[in-house]
Structure 1
Amino acid sequence: MSHNTGSGRTTPRRGFWYLLAVAATTLLLVTPSSASDHRHQPHAGGSDWVGSWAAAVTPPDSRPDTQRFHDQTLRQVVHLSVGGDRFRLRLTNVHGTKPLSVGAVTVSPRRGGRGTPNIDPTTAVPVTFDGRSSTTVPVGAEWVSDPVELDVADNSDLVVSVHLPESTGRASVHYEGRSTTFLAPGDATSGSGENYESIGTARYFLDGVDVRTDSAGSVVFFGDSITDGVRSTLDANHRYPDVVADRLLKRPEPRELGVLNAGLSANRLLTDAGLGGEPAIARFERDILSQTGVRTVVLLEGINDIHHSAGAVESRELIGVYEQLIARAHEAGIRVVGGTITPFEGAPRYNAAGESDRRAVNEWIRESGAFDAVVDFDAVVRDPGHPSRLAPRYDTGDHVHPNDAGLAAMARAVEIRELY
């Protein structure tokens, strides 16, 4: 990795309400319990709020598995990177069309093996919002819970159960959660799990968990389906950011970093991709700048623009978006690590024009000096004898997405010292 100098941090605004305008005029509202946020301040050790888990959300599309809910309980599992002595949840209605009524929320450690909804009901801890067990999340808003006074461990699973007593309307959803989501009738927030059934791997209305801990801050991995880990093993936490999180936990406690995955399958730099949601430039503020305690973002995106346009997108257009993202991050005092775009020969829309654009963008990433550091994912996963395609041992078979072994190789390529 190469290294350049970043800029200083800004100081967040505080008050009874914390209001942050995102691209496309979306509002981010934070409850009074979160008025002490330190979202853009550097962490130099000591107990502070840090992002430990996140998921980027989109409006629902026409997929048949897209859900709407009415008097039902969603049970979702989040895998924390760093633990702490208390935590808070972040619910989201950013893409909703009506206020989201939340009847009750509980959290509990998972009981039993992965891919199950089971908990010990005696361990279910109620979550409150401004002291109340129920709340309503306005349209276009994110809602932060009161702190929950409970120790949570590093590298642990939290089971989050949310009762939705009224019709939810359009959901804010993350389709490729790679973790099984469950549903039960009525208020089953403290139920053991026997009334729950699997409804797929999409996540709904939940986009973050912050913890109070001794940590150096958090790092956001921002990208598309490769960062999202869409072909990784279900319920196993084998996405490449998960493996980086495991590496970070081996460092002394004050030097740990929370890991936030802002990967969004089918996402593009330039255009709204439908099921891939808003383009990167539009979601950058919500999925990076509004996260808690962020020091660094690792940016790996652009393959969808190249692939789906069959080479019609020019490399200079993609570079222009990178430059905008870098400038906005630096204004907030956040370092940016650029990841080179991985090979895709053999994919349906591969052609020579697209490959030429990919190589031109990668050359700029490596040589321009625009990033604070570079991680060469392309060099790690490509076939040495045929560098325009993935190495066979890392290819899931679609010639775009690395398998678990490829994702682990990508994680090993990230130099930990460049994340601070």
Structure 2
Amino acid sequence: MPPSRSLPRSLRRWAGLLTAAAAAGAALMAGATLAEPPADAAVPSTAAADATAGATGWVGTWATAVARPESGAALAGFTDTTFRQRLHVSVGGTQARLRLSNVYGTQPLVVGAATLALPGANPGDVDAATLRPVTFSGDASVTVPAGAEVVSDPVALRIADDNDVLVSLHVPGPTGPATYHSAAHSTGWLADGDRTATPSGSAFDRTTTSFWFLDGLDVRGATSGAVVFLGDSITDGSGSTRDANRRWPDYLADRMLQLPRPQRFGVLNAGIGGNRLLLHANSPGQGDNALARLDRDALTQTGAGTVVVFEGVNDIQQPNSQYDPERLIAAYEQIVERGHDQGMRVIGATIGPFRGWGTWTPEREAVRVAVNEWIRGSGAFDAVIDVDAVLRDPADPQRIRPEYDSGDHLHPGDAGYAAMAAAVDLSVLSPRRR
């Protein structure tokens, strides 16, 4: 039997792994060959799915961190709307499952229909031959309680590494406040009515640059687990080219795919623009503080064994600024402790330079320097990614190198993100648990 969906995600994950391992062991004892299903196969039963996947189980391949709706369309919600959203996966697999989120909803969310498909010829199109209905406990629709998340049934769809998947969701509504990720740096499409099974993107007459009611996509395939990047706008991709997949975790995923297949891992982006370690953000869509969202966005991600922590600049530079480095250090120590309690490796990243940004002051710079010295020298983290050393201008270390600067003196552009990813020793990211 599949693990109960009433269990927390972390328990479901381990229950699923045990189920998969048991099924794979039985197949091997019988001398069976564990073969992959064709892309057009029907969705197998849970036992067959576990045997097909072998002992690898589920792993997250795409994720986003959701935020509280506080204004605009997110607060107003939607009625009789289909969302078609493009997810760029890191590692592929032969099956997928979708994670829906109503974490910040104030009423039950009804999803009347959902589909997965590979992209078609034009933006917003899907390849009709790959269009798959998504079910939840065998039903085409699902009701997600306020404050909850749900995981779909397995969908047989062969997804390649470094590929796009289009998710279409129909919400009859009215939904009330909509759980979302504000800055997707990716274009999605909206239409009236149920267009989940419509191949052509021409049926969608509006676009969106947010992710709606989604927080993850898992796959089954041969990987070593997943790595979560917990961060702010620099991890989220501010300053990168929209629809080009040039966030620094995207570039890092490209490097990861050069590894032998057993060493590859899912790359999960849990960055939120404006996010902070200690305080809830000042503007809509910027999310709960990192300590508050740590469990949901990092520690219980499917198959995750490593979390990279790259936060702190907004605590320093936003209003209600932190001038005591020890408060930020205490937050990092909490994240390390809680990650280690879950058997995860916790990697720290230094805070990049931001002189030239409107809120920079010498006093705030001193806090950044002190925090970075602690990240590098304390030994609290299992490893350190020295983002500051990569981005800083050798002629003026308080500023980003001009060729890496997006133009606002805080966020890197595409070249800066590529340089950050290129500087990471991939071996320190191994998601195999401690």
- The answer to whether the aligner puts 1:283 opposite 2:263 as a matched pair is no
Could you tell me which of 397, 414, 417 is aligned with 2:424? 414
Q: Name the residue aligned to 1:397.
A: 407
Task: Give aligned pairs, total.
Answer: 393
Contact between 2:61 and 2:226, CA under 8 Å: does it hold in 1? Answer: yes
- The answer to whether the aligner puts 1:383 opposite 2:393 as a matched pair is yes
The one-letter code matched in structure 2 to 1:93 is N
Q: How far apart, CA to CA, are the structure 2 residues paired with 1:67 and 1:311? A: 31
Q: Name the residue aligned to 1:158.
A: 165
Cα distance, 1:34–1:85 mapped onto 2, change above 3 Å = farther
- The answer to whether the aligner puts 1:19 opposite 2:7 as a matched pair is yes
Alignment of 1:41-52 (within 5 A): 46-52=55-61
Q: Kindly provide the CA deviation profile for residues 7-37 of structure 1, in whole angstroms up to 9, marking residues without a partner as x.
A: xxxxxxx9534433xxxxxxx799x899525
Tell me whether 117-126 or 167-176 shows the greater mean CA deviation. 117-126
Alignment of 1:72-111 (within 5 A): 72-111=81-120
- The answer to whether the aligner puts 1:332 opposite 2:312 as a matched pair is no
Cα distance, 1:317–1:237 mapped onto 2, change above 3 Å = same
Where 1:325 maps in the other structure, the secondary structure is helix
Tell me whether 311-320 or 102-111 shows the greater mean CA deviation. 311-320
Q: Name the residue aligned to 1:272.
A: 280
Tell me whether 196-205 or 376-385 shows the greater mean CA deviation. 196-205
Where 2:221 maps in the other structure, the secondary structure is strand
Deviation, structure 1 residue 149: 1.4
Alignment of 1:96-245 (within 5 A): 96-113=105-122, 116-191=123-198, 192-245=200-253
Deviation, structure 1 residue 266: 0.5
The one-letter code matched in structure 2 to 1:277 is G
The one-letter code matched in structure 2 to 1:49 is W
Unaligned residue ranges in structure 1 (runs of 5+): 1-13, 21-27
Contact between 2:356 and 2:399, CA under 8 Å: does it hold in 1? Answer: yes
Q: Name the residue aligned to 1:6.
A: none
Where relative contact order (Cα < 8 A, 6+ residues apart) is larger, the structure is: 1
Where 2:259 maps in the other structure, the secondary structure is coil
Deviation, structure 1 residue 63: 4.5
The one-letter code matched in structure 1 to 2:313 is I
The one-letter code matched in structure 1 to 2:352 is T
Q: How far apart, CA to CA, are the structure 1 residues paired with 2:147 and 2:17? A: 20
Cα distance, 1:37–1:173 mapped onto 2, change above 3 Å = farther
Unaligned residue ranges in structure 2 (runs of 5+): 22-53
Could you tell me which of 16, 22, 30 is aligned with 1:36? 16
Q: How far apart, CA to CA, are the structure 2 residues paired with 1:68 and 1:209? A: 23
Q: How far apart, CA to CA, are the structure 1 residues paired with 2:417 and 2:93? A: 27
Q: How far apart, CA to CA, are the structure 1 residues paired with 2:5 and 2:293? A: 22
Deviation, structure 1 residue 208: 0.2
Q: How far apart, CA to CA, are the structure 2 residues paired with 1:163 and 1:157? A: 20
Contact between 1:65 and 1:200, CA under 8 Å: does it hold in 2? Answer: no
Could you tell me which of 48, 63, 68 is aligned with 1:59? 68
Greater C-alpha Rg: 2
Contact between 2:181 and 2:211, CA under 8 Å: does it hold in 1? Answer: yes
Cα distance, 1:259–1:199 mapped onto 2, change above 3 Å = same
Where 1:199 maps in the other structure, the secondary structure is strand
State the TM-score, normalized to the length of structure 1.
Answer: 0.89
Q: How many percent identity over aligned positions?
A: 50
Contact between 1:215 and 1:255, CA under 8 Å: does it hold in 2? Answer: yes
Q: Which structure has greater helix proportion?
A: 2
Cα distance, 1:35–1:131 mapped onto 2, change above 3 Å = farther
Deviation, structure 1 residue 66: 6.2
The one-letter code matched in structure 2 to 1:255 is Q
Deviation, structure 1 residue 313: 3.0
Q: How far apart, CA to CA, are the structure 2 residues paired with 1:311 and 1:245? A: 33
Contact between 2:190 and 2:208, CA under 8 Å: does it hold in 1? Answer: no
Cα distance, 1:17–1:159 mapped onto 2, change above 3 Å = closer
Q: How far apart, CA to CA, are the structure 2 residues paired with 1:300 and 1:194? A: 39
